[in-house]
Amino acid sequence: MAHGYMCGGQRITVGVLIVNLKRILHDIGVMGTSTDLFDYHLPLELIAQRSVEPRDHSRLMVVDRTTGEWEHKRFYQILDELQAGDVLVLNNTKVFRARLEAQVKGKSVEVFLLRPRGEFWDVLMKPGRNIHVGDRINMGPVLGTVVAKSDVFLVQFDVSDETLIEYANAHGQIPIPPYVHEAPANLDQYQTVYAKQMGSVAAPTAGFHFTQELLSKIHEKGIEIHYVTLHVGVGTFRPMKTQTIEEHEMHAEFVTITPETAQAINQAKQEGRRVVAVGTTTVRTLEGVAKMMLKKVHPGEKKSVDLLPTEGFSGDVNLFITPGFEFKIVDALITNFHLPKSTLLVLASAFAGRDRILTAYHEAIRQQYRFFSFGDAMFIR
Question: What whole-number distance in Å separates Cα of residue 359 and Cα of residue 363?
Answer: 6
**Residue 125: in which H helix or E strand, if any?**
strand 120-126
Distance CA 343, CA 347 (A): 6
pLDDT at site 378: 98
Q: What is the pLDDT of residues 174-184, one digit of tens each?
A: 999 999 999 99
Cβ distance 152 to 114 under 8 Å? yes
Per cent of the chain over pLDDT 90 is: 83
> Is the pLDDT assigned to residue 18 strictly greater than 90?
no
Give, in words, the CATH class of 99-171.
Answer: mainly beta
Between 21 and 173, the more confident residue is 173
Pairwise pLDDT comparison (377 vs 298), residue with the higher score: 377
pLDDT value at residue 12? 60
DSSP structure string for 9-53: TEEEEHHHHHHHHHHHHHHTTSS--BGGGG-----GGGB-SS--S
Q: What is the DSSP string of 167-179?
A: HHHHH-B----TT
pLDDT greater than 50 at residue 2 = no
Domain residue limits, the chain:
45-95+185-380, 99-171
pLDDT single digits (tens) 248-306: 888 888 999 999 999 999 999 999 999 999 999 999 999 999 999 887 765 666 567 89
Q: What is the mean pLDDT of the chain?
A: 91
Q: What is the mean pLDDT of residues 109-138?
A: 96
Helix ranges (H only) for the chain are 14-27, 78-81, 161-171, 212-220, 259-270, 280-295, 343-352, 354-366
Region 178-201: what's the mean pLDDT? 95
- What's residue 319's pLDDT? 93
| pLDDT score of 350 more than 60 | yes
Give pLDDT, residue 1.
46
Cβ contact 131:153 at 8 Å = yes
Q: How confident is the model at residue 30 (pLDDT cuts 50, 70, 90)?
A: very low
Look up the CATH architecture of domain 45-95+185-380: 3-Layer(aba) Sandwich (3.40)
Q: What is the pLDDT, as a whole number, of residue 6? A: 55
Task: Report the pLDDT value the prediction gives residue 8, as an integer from 0 to 100.
Answer: 53
| Residue range 308-340, pLDDT digits in tens | 999 999 999 999 999 999 999 999 999 999 999
Angle at 215 between CA 191 and CA 84, to 5 degrees: 140
Pairing of strands 332-336, 197-200: unpaired
Summarize the confidence of residues 156-174 as an average pLDDT.
97
Q: Confidence class of residue 376 from pLDDT cuts 50, 70 and 90?
A: very high
pLDDT computed for residue 229 by the predictor: 98
pLDDT tens per residue across span 226-246: 999 999 987 665 678 889 999
Q: Own/partner pairs for 135-144, CB < 8 Å, 24+ apart? A: 135/104, 135/105, 136/104, 137/102, 137/103, 137/104, 137/109, 137/111, 138/102, 138/103, 138/104, 139/100, 139/101, 139/102, 139/103, 139/111, 139/167, 139/171, 140/171, 141/167, 142/167
